[in-house]
Structure 1
Amino acid sequence: MLHLRALCPAERTDAVLEALRDCPGVAHVVLLRGAAVSPQGDVVEADIAREAADEVITRLYEQQLDRTGGITLEVLDTALSDAADRAEKEAPGESGDAVVWQELVSLTGEQSRLNVTFQAFLTIACLLAAVGVVTDSPVTIVGAMVVGPEFGPLAAVAVGVVLRRWDLVRRAAVALAVGFPLAMAVTTGATMLGEATGLFSAGNLRGEHEVDFIFEVGPYSLIVALLAGAAGMLAMTSAKSAALVGVFISVTTVPAAGYAAVAAVLGQWSRCLASVGQLAVNLLGIVLAAVLVLAVRVRSKRFAASPRPLPNG
């Protein structure tokens, strides 16, 4: 279940309570008159079944609480009461299949920000991939896959396209368009330094290696990207975040970026171009699959038609 807290002006409190009473899947409603200080008003709290959350939030949006007050949601690990059990039984659908759209928008919006942390993780992941390439270490490549934060912006693009949240698409596109080139530029500099100091040479890329799968583009590259994008979006929309680790390990976005940088410095242009192609195929495949999954899961046309701009930053 989810715990809801709504700050609302006193004149809207009765309407909010009525909306909560009318929604199936709501339990433990609490009213605190005059408890809100900033903004001033009343505080209404309730526990709601996950599958009822989207309808509840829509009702609160109708009361404009997102503008005149505030709405917060947090996950409840345990709720022990007959009322909570009844609420989950009355709520339509299954909890594991429920999508809380505003939660999804908020999550992907936060993960798609171009900031120092995002750029640092992406750069470190590319550097790890470069080390994996020159040492022919699949384990290091897997480490780079796990560290890479690129799925957040890719998921944000898919969410933005399906829900017509163009502000979200722009933010995510900027993060990817700036993040990858900058991370590859740093990796290129590190590779040049390594070659100049004799740490490795062009011979490291000649012949066959265990990490050659990175630049070998083929039908399976697209198939894996599509499956990974679908699994990743299912994990995000069903709150099964543990599955995301498997998504990170299955795609070769960051490894392809790292390989391209190393190959360019060492003059292996065919492998460099193939790696860039691998990167493009993976990015497009993930977004396409995520869009298809979301398109199937969209249930509320009203939400999709009423975008709320993301905060700046």
Structure 2
Amino acid sequence: MRYLEIAIPKGRRQAVLDILEDEGIDYVVGDETSGRGYAAVVRFPLPTRAVEPLLDRLNRAGIDDEARVVVINAETVISRSFDALLDQYSHGGTKGERTSRQVLRTRADELTPSFSIYVVMLLISAVVATAGLLADSPAVVVGSMVIAPLIGPALAANVGIVTGDDKLTSTGFRYQVVGVAIVVAASIGLATLARVAGLEPAGVDIVVVAELQERVSPNLLSLAVALGAGVAGILSLTRGFSEAIVGVMIAAALIPPAAAVGITVAWGMYGAALGAAVLVTVNVLSINLAALTTLWIAGYRPQGLFEVSPTRRPTYAYAVVFGVALLVLAAPLVSITLLDFHTTELRSSATDEVDAALEEPQFDGLEVDSVEVTLDDDYPVRSVDQVVVTVSGDDPGQIPALSERIHEGVAAHTDEPVVVEVQFVVSEQRGGTSGDRIDAFSRSVEQGSIPDSSL
């Protein structure tokens, strides 16, 4: 429920009171004596759902920016006429609250902090995220999301679009672009210092760190996080849920990938940096497209006769730009997703072939330890590098034949050249002495290759 106070401009008193009477609203009116151009002040309670239609009707009657409207929350209203009004706006028994677009615009603006505070908080978040990624610490990475003030700009931009507030729109988009740039720049600086200081947790190939690897070679599942964050953000704003919790979800889609861009640039791995940059861009577009679509479906748009068309056109334009750009940038994610499926299928097929081979009498005494499919380092769109099979036993002499057998089996499951490597772990040498020697035999699927071995 809401409680409204409207300072009525001179010459508009009767028009306002006629609208309130027609709506069946109980009101209290008093004369305005401040000499500031107001004729009267009217106060009345109103169901939340009724705020937007009433203000639209007043606007069409000429009560526009010259009037002063204050909307505050009301704890309870004891009135039979108010109960009837509440039923009238319950839409078939649903009395859930829907924030008016006038209040929505104010709330979105309030969620956007001052620029100085925004920059400081993002710098702190970038430092924490970079440290968490370098340390491969999920807990620290989550901490960086909690303090990132990204929910305000993400929502403000789209609320501004559907309500025709150009200033709110430009502020929201400017904050988003600047925010991502700040995180990337800060991450580059911190990661460069870490590398110079010799703090390289994964050596030169920094992307083998689990927290980094999933962000430099993203798949389509990444879209689900960003799209969900955009929808949840709008619902939190319009339905009164916790914006702080949803803010963490939005930050999860932006802060770690942006920090991953900085880290990989500092390590000179520009292909991996490109993959992380694509993920950041896709997530920004997904959040905004989901938020804009949710707002439009929920009916948040100017309702005046002369406002709908001008606002609808830019809304469609933004939606088309977001959608087309998202489709173009999602192409690498599709390729990576298909590679993930292929890798999983190839690993399963290779495992079946190894199990079948080891059941043959000539390989009696051998046991499989692991079957892995490794990818190359050509980020962001990688390809299968080799299939690595590790077996253990006490007779390395069986390995050349086993390598040939597995090679033939795996070749039947792929149309592309791939190297199959069999590693042999000597579990027990002659005389009962334990050993740890590893023989590796590899054979390419390409015709005419020659197996090689190394100790």
Contact 1:49-1:88 within 8 A present in 2 as well:
yes
**What CA deviation, in whole Å up to 9, does each residue of 1:10-57 have, x standing for no partner?**
422222122222235x44x22121255655442211111011011111
Counterpart check, 1:72 vs 2:73: no
1:185 deviates by 1.9
2:51 aligned partner: 53
- CA distance in 2: counterparts of 1:233 and 1:293, whole angstroms: 7
Kindly indicate whether residue 233 of structure 2 is the aligned counterpart of residue 232 of structure 1. Answer: yes
Alpha carbon RMSD of aligned pairs, Å? 2.8
TM superposition shift of 1:174: 1.6
Query: Secondary structure of the residue that 2:44 maps to in structure 1?
Result: strand
- Cα deviation for residue 268 of structure 1 reads 3.2
What's the CA shift for 1:3? 1.4
Unmatched segments (≥5 aa) in structure 2: 312-455
TM-aligned CA deviation for residue 63 of structure 1: 4.8
Note the C-alpha offset of 1:70.
1.0
**Equivalent residue letter for 2:180:** F
Output the CA distance in 1 between the equivalents of 2:35 and 2:146: 43
Matched with 2:127 is: 127
Structure 1 partner of 2:285: 284
Secondary structure of residue in 2 paired with 1:160: helix
* Cα pair distance change 1:35/1:76, threshold 3 Å: farther
- Structure 1 residue 8: deviation in Å? 1.6
Bigger RCO (CA 8 Å, 6+ sep): 1
- Post-superposition shift, 1:256? 1.1
Aligned residues: 303
Residue 148 of structure 1 corresponds to which residue in structure 2? 148
Q: Which runs of 5+ in 1 are unaligned?
A: 308-313
Match for residue 271 of structure 2?
270
| Deviation, structure 1 residue 246 | 3.9
Tell me the SS of whatever aligns to 1:52. Answer: helix
State the 1:288 CA deviation. Answer: 1.2
- Contact preservation (8 Å) 1:214, 1:252: no
Partner of 2:319: none
CA contact (8 A) 1:150 1:176 kept: yes
2:3 paired with 1:3? yes
What does 1:199-238 align with in structure 2 at a 5 Å threshold?
200-201=199-200, 203=202, 205-210=206-211, 212-238=213-239
For 1:47-126, what aligned pairs fall within 5 Å after superposition? 47-93=45-91, 94-96=94-96, 98-112=98-112, 115-126=115-126
Aligned partners of 2:186 and 2:62: how far apart in 1? 46
Aligned partner of 1:126: which letter?
A
Q: Partner letter of residue 88 of structure 1?
A: L
2:287 & 2:262 partners in 1: Cα distance?
Answer: 22
CA shift for structure 1 position 300: 5.7
Q: Secondary structure at the match of 2:70?
A: strand
Aligned to 1:311: none
**TM value normalised by structure 2:** 0.60
Instruction: Give TM-score, length-normalised by structure 1.
Output: 0.84
Identify the structure with the greater helix proportion: 1
What code does the residue aligned with 1:302 have?
A: Q
Q: Which has the larger radius of gyration?
A: 2
Equivalent position SS for 1:203: coil
The percent of aligned pairs where both chains have the same amino acid is: 24
